[in-house]
C-alpha cells in the first residue's frame, strides 16, 4: 500500500482530514501517530475521534498527563452489544517499558477497539492488528504535512 501525503493549511483542515481517516477505520486497528511537539497529532485525533462519533471535538484533549483517554460511541441500536471504544494514548511522558506496561494497553488490545497512539515512535508495538501509520510535520505557519501509510484514502 502506497503512502498518501497531504498538506493542510489550518487546524480546521487537519481536523477535516482526521474525519476522512475516521470514515475508513474499522476496529480493531492501531493508529500510530508520530511527529514533533506541536505537529498536529492531537488536532488530527480530534477529527478522527469526533468523526467516529465517539466524542465531540471540543471534548477531545491531549492525554499528555493522564496518558490514556477512553471514548465510547453510544450504541445506535439496542442490538449492538459492543459499542465502539476508542483509546487515545499519549506516550510523550512514558520513559521506559515498565511505564508503558502500567498503562494497560494489553487490555485495550484485548477488545475490538480503535487505539490511537501519539508519540508511537518511542516504542515498538507487537500486535497482529491492522496498523495505520501517520507522520505529521510543520510546514510553516498553520500548514502541516500529513503522510499516511496503511489506509486507502
User: Coil, strand or helix: which one is 59?
Assistant: helix
CATH of the domain at 44: 3.40.50.300
CA 72 – CA 65 distance, rounded (Å)? 20
What's the whole-model pTM score? 0.90
- Count how many domains the chain has: 1
What's residue 94's pLDDT?
86
Supply the DSSP symbol for 122. Answer: G
Supply the DSSP symbol for 60. Answer: -
Answer whether 146's CB lies under 8 Å from 6's CB.
yes
What's residue 145's pLDDT?
98
CA 107 – CA 102 distance, rounded (Å)? 11
What's residue 81's pLDDT?
62
25: domain range? 4-149
pLDDT in tens, the chain (153 residues): 679 999 999 999 999 999 999 999 999 999 999 999 999 999 999 999 999 999 999 999 888 777 889 999 877 655 556 679 999 999 998 887 777 777 777 788 888 999 999 999 988 877 889 999 999 999 999 999 999 999 887
What's residue 80's pLDDT?
55
Amino acid at each position: 500500500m502506497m503512502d498518501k501525503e497531504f498538506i493542510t493549511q489550518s487546524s480546521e483542515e487537519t481536523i477535516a482530514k482526521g474525519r476522512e481517516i475516521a470514515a475508513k477505520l474499522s476496529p480493531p486497528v492501531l493508529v500510530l501517530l508520530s511527529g514533533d511537539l506541536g505537529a498536529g497529532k492531537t488536532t488530527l485525533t480530534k477529527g478522527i475521534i469526533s468523526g467516529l462519533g465517539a466524542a465531540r471535538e471540543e471534548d477531545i484533549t491531549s492525554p499528555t498527563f493522564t496518558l490514556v483517554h477512553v471514548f465510547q460511541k453510544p450504541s445506535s441500536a439496542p442490538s449492538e452489544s459492543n459499542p465502539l471504544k476508542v483509546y487515545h494514548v499519549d506516550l510523550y511522558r512514558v520513559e521506559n517499558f515498565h511505564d508503558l506496561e502500567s498503562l494497560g494497553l494489553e487490555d485495550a488490545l484485548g477488545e475490538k477497539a480503535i487505539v490511537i497512539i501519539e508519540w508511537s515512535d518511542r516504542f515498538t508495538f507487537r500486535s497482529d492488528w491492522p496498523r495505520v501509520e501517520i507522520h505529521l510535520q510543520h510546514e510553516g505557519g498553520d500548514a502541516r504535512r500529513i503522510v499516511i501509510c496503511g489506509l486507502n484514502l
